[in-house]
Amino acid sequence: MGLFDRLKQGLSKTRKNLVEKAEQLFYRRVVDEKLLNELEDLLIMADVGPRASADIISALKEKVKKGEIPDTVELKKALKDEIKKIIRDGSGINITADRPYVILTVGVNGTGKTTTIGKLAGRFANEGLKVILAAGDTFRAAAIEQLEIWAERSGVQIVKHKSGADPAAVAFDAVVSAKAKNADVVLVDTAGRLHTKINLMEELKKVKRVISRELPAAPHEVLLVVDATSGQNVIHQAKIFSEAVHITGIALTKLDGTARGGIVVAIKKELNIPVKLIGIGEAMDDLRDFNADEFVDALFE
Ligand code: GDP
Ligand code: MG
């Protein structure tokens, strides 16, 4: 299966919930106020979010008024365009020339931080880059073991301490080791328990501080990993983590598991943090650079 078809398959629940329902809605209808209001309900049900949905619908109403949307074929095209307009400047992960390039992942437990790091490690190793993983979720021994499995799978190095150790010390050792070994990329895993409690946020701040002290330009990327199946809660999580550490991008995982993939649009509208990666499954190549046009085309095609 080609990459685009795999993406379509990964988004199939949202396609069914949003696009197929929109098509049913459009069948033999004239484009009027009533139809557009019904479309707005569909957008909200797909987690596009109330503000983004309202913006999209008012832009469509404007076009209808100007006679630019004579029928539902044009309406579908215009809908795609409006969604693309909102999410357009999303981008993938780009490693700059600065070495080692450090990516710190943060997020609530179970969102897919460790898995995303594992998939990224595979991708970078494939590109011939020297990768070091930092087992910064020291809260549970199992979390360290999980990262070790990914390290083995991709043949990359891992820096780990015993469970219960200070995650900042693990991150520090990984950066020092990466400098000594001329590594290209350091991927730092972290714990995600109790995101509403102050101690995790303090821990993350410390991890970030220690990395920056050793390497002033780092971390180059602070990636917030969020689970698409948790809906609008994603927005809440992003706000909390943003207060502690400056988030440079979002990895939106488990899009394959939700009918409400419209959350991509809500994230852009509400947070203005670029979605850089999307997860559409558990396998190594189920992590994609986010591309707005491709995403919308895969949904609607
Ligand atoms: P962490 O607690 O944030 O480190 O989360 P994990 O990386 O341990 O992931 C939690 C679960 O989510 C694991 O079972 C992963 O396989 C699963 N997972 C992660 N990303 C995706 C994805 O894009 N799609 C699906 N279906 N499962 C995912
Ligand atoms: Mg983990």
30-41 pLDDT, tens digit per residue, is 999 999 999 999
Shared domain for 164 and 48, answered yes or no, is: no
Q: What is the tens place of the pLDDT at every residue in 233-260?
A: 999 999 999 999 999 999 999 999 999 9
> Based on the number of CB atoms within 10 Å of its own CB, is 153 exposed (0-12), middle (13-18) or buried (19 or more)?
middle
Task: Please indicate whether residue 192, judged by its CB atom, sits closer than 6 Å to ligand 1.
Answer: yes
Q: How far is the CA of 69 from the centre of ligand 2 (A)?
A: 48
Q: Which of 27, 53, 87 is the last residue of a domain?
A: 87
Q: What is the tens place of the pLDDT at every residue in 180-226?
A: 999 999 999 999 976 455 688 999 999 999 999 999 999 999 999 99
Model pLDDT, residue 140: 86
DSSP secondary structure of 179-248: HHTT-SEEEE----S-TTSHHHHHHHHHHHHHHHHHSTT--SEEEEEEEGGGTTHHHHHHHHHHHHS---
Q: What is the tens place of the pLDDT at every residue in 64-123?
A: 999 999 999 999 999 999 999 999 876 789 898 899 999 999 999 999 999 999 999 999
- Residue 95, domain member (yes or no): no
Shared domain for 198 and 67, answered yes or no, is: no
- CATH number for the domain spanning 78: value is 1.20.120.140
Q: What is the tens place of the pLDDT at every residue in 132-146?
A: 999 999 988 899 999
Q: 102 and 173 in contact (C-beta within 8 Å)?
A: no
3-state secondary structure of 105: strand
Q: Which of 87, 122, 152 is the last residue of a domain?
A: 87
- Residue 217, domain member (yes or no): yes
- CATH number for the domain spanning 219: value is 3.40.50.300
Shared domain for 119 and 215, answered yes or no, is: yes
Q: How far is the CA of 112 from the centre of ligand 1 (A)?
A: 4
Shared domain for 169 and 271, answered yes or no, is: yes
Shared domain for 280 and 158, answered yes or no, is: yes
What is the rounded distance in angstroms from the CA atom of residue 280 to the CA atom of residue 57?
Answer: 28
- Ligand 1: which of 108, 109, 230, 253 to mutate, judged by most atoms within 8 Å of the beta carbon? 253
Q: Is the pLDDT score of 124 beyond 80?
A: yes
Shared domain for 55 and 170, answered yes or no, is: no
Shared domain for 116 and 41, answered yes or no, is: no
Task: Please indicate whether residue 254, judged by its CB atom, sits closer than 6 Å to ligand 1.
Answer: yes
- Residue 96, domain member (yes or no): no
Shared domain for 124 and 183, answered yes or no, is: yes
Model pLDDT, residue 78: 97
